[in-house]
Amino acid sequence: MGLGVGKRHQEKLKGPKFYRIEWVALLAVVVGTFLLRVVGQLDQVFVQGLVLFRGADSWYHMRLADNAVVNFPNPLVFDQLLSYPGGSELGFHPLLSWIIGGFGAAGFNYEVIGAYIPPVVGALLMIPIYLLGKELFSRRVGILACVIAVVLPGELFHRSLLGFTDHHILEVFFMFVSILFIVYAIRRENLRYAIAAGVSLGLFSLSWHGNLFLFFILIIWYIVQFFYNYYKGISVRFLSLSLTLAFTISILMLGPYLILKGASSVYLTIGIGIIFIPLGLYLLSCKVREREMFFLSSLGVILVGILGGVFFLPQIFHFGIDSLRAIYIGYDSPISEGAWTNFTVAFNAYGMPFFLAFGGLYLAIKRRTNLLIIIWSVIIIGATIGQRRWGYYLTVDVALLTSYFIFEVGKMVKPTVKWAVVSVVIVFSLLPSIRGTIELASINNNISYGWYNSLIWLRDNSPPQFDQDIYRGLNIREDPKYGVLTWWDYGHWVMRLAERAPTSNPATWGSHGAYRFFASQSVEEAEEWIEGLKIRYVIVDQQILEGKFPSLAQINNLEGDIFALRDNSMAFKLYYGQVEGYNLVSIEPGVKIFERENWEN
């Protein structure tokens, strides 16, 4: 079992004709992926000369792009708008901002380019999926895996739609490019692929602040692969040195940005420590030649490392535990993407392939196909069950394992009916997902005209929050003169469109709990939550009173009839003009803005 052990699956169709068909099919899949994510969204994203981005984080990434256009290539590492009232260091890594801001600084329409990045990268993702499937299994498995990944209506599809300008699609792309190059490097014992893997890992790390998740997967795989190879008498030299090289390159690429933003020493220490895990194990194996003694020495080093972390470097130990908890545990989250993946969610997002993938995983384990694909799959499946947000990784995993399983099933029947059986299984695997795919391809945008117009009004008609140009300035610190209260879902819209600092947003809920204002069951309770925050403007919309209110009630620990709680809430009373001291200053369809009379208190 391993990257270099075992025979590759042989295929009957070979030669120039098959290769032409193979690449034509891949090109068709790439183009189809792009069109499926663009055509149904054109009238949702490009509206009356405007670019209306999807979701919440997309708007903040464009806020960062606005700043990058002015200050390129210097990144924004502290944003006064991100956390009210004191500002916050950025958790977002800069690659996406650099890409969009670079085009803007060169004079291109960076809003349009930003809108197209998700479907373009989503389409290009099909190439590493195909190459990985081809390398690990067969060409046919690679092509079918791409087709499955294209049509599954889950997180990957959603986050690669036109206008969903978020870093997630870059994460997925560079994750699987990194894995592909690691597979190539180990199988071919070629350092050029290890260097390419390091560059890709570096770009992955510059895309997402949670980059240690991928390093965690790779370290777990490396340790298992190392001991497997060592036990079997297979050289561990290239395995260890190639990963050391790849990790070193990636850390060197990310390091300057971390130093610039003043990243925690814990983060930097872990990053450097990652480099020495493969190097250290290899050097230990060279020093301790006796097998039994080496296993005991390795176990001792691991135990000493864990105990040392617990007692002498507790901040690193707690950082690791908190990081794993953040990845795997989301069962009680009021945020939909942070909730766990139950049976209904799994079937709606992945259809039959979700269940067939377990068959593929079983066969991969039984036939000792590849340790990396097995360990990666198990970790990603566990993470996605804990939080459905990781579905944009799992989709690729499901696609590869399902495709592998289908063609392996085809080998179990008579050759005369093989392709008929495979075709039937493919059709019935994908058929239940087609409706969801069509609906998702043309899903309505999140932001409404009412919200857009309300925030433009706020930008143009409210007094400046700051004396300096916080929005376009670089890393400026200044206390705001007043606050804008809104439910956290809308905070990034407020930042980008109104150019104002909201009290909460999807990145930072707000340290003072002001978001509890809306579900409060009395005016007095609501006022207590915002006391001393200088809240001048309050924005309320119908969604808070409808689909979002159960989440508001959960966060406020309210129990009872949800409709009675809603009708007694501060949001309801305010929206329907039942509260004195809040003057209606802007009204758009479904959205109202109020100005408090005694906002300085």
Q: Which residues have C-beta within 8 Å of that of residue 262, sequence separation ≥ 6?
A: 77, 89
pLDDT reading at 598 higher than 90: no
Q: Which residues have C-beta within 8 Å of that of residue 428, sequence separation ≥ 6?
A: 352
Q: Model confidence at 35, in pLDDT bands (50, 70, 90)?
A: very high
Amino acid sitting at position 532:
G
Tokens coding 48: 């009356």
- pLDDT at position 313 is 67
In whole angstroms, give the CA distance from residue 469 to residue 457.
Answer: 19
Q: How many CB atoms lie within 10 A of CB 392?
A: 23
Out of 178-182, 190-194, 318-322, which region has the weakest mean confidence (pLDDT)? 318-322
Q: Please state whether the peptide bond connecting residue 118 to the residue before it is cis, i.e. omega within 30 degrees of 0.
A: no
- pLDDT at position 121 is 98
Pairing of strands 50-51, 46-47: antiparallel
In whole angstroms, give the CA distance from residue 388 to residue 450.
Answer: 30
Q: Model confidence at 572, in pLDDT bands (50, 70, 90)?
A: very high
Terminal Cα distance for the chain, rounded: 68
pLDDT tens-place string over residues 201-251: 999 999 998 898 999 999 999 999 999 999 888 999 999 999 999 999 999
In whole angstroms, give the CA distance from residue 520 to residue 434.
Answer: 42
Question: Would you give the DSSP letter of residue 195?
Answer: H
Ordered structural domains, the chain, with CATH = 1-49+109-166+330-442 (no CATH), 167-328 (no CATH), 449-596 (3.40.50.12610)
pLDDT tens-place string over residues 62-95: 999 999 999 999 999 999 999 999 999 998 999 9
Out of 28-32, 158-162, 424-428, which region has the weakest mean confidence (pLDDT)? 424-428
pLDDT tens-place string over residues 497-534: 999 999 999 888 766 788 899 999 999 999 999 999 99
pLDDT reading at 12 higher than 50: no
- pLDDT at position 7 is 41
Share of the chain above pLDDT 70, in %: 92
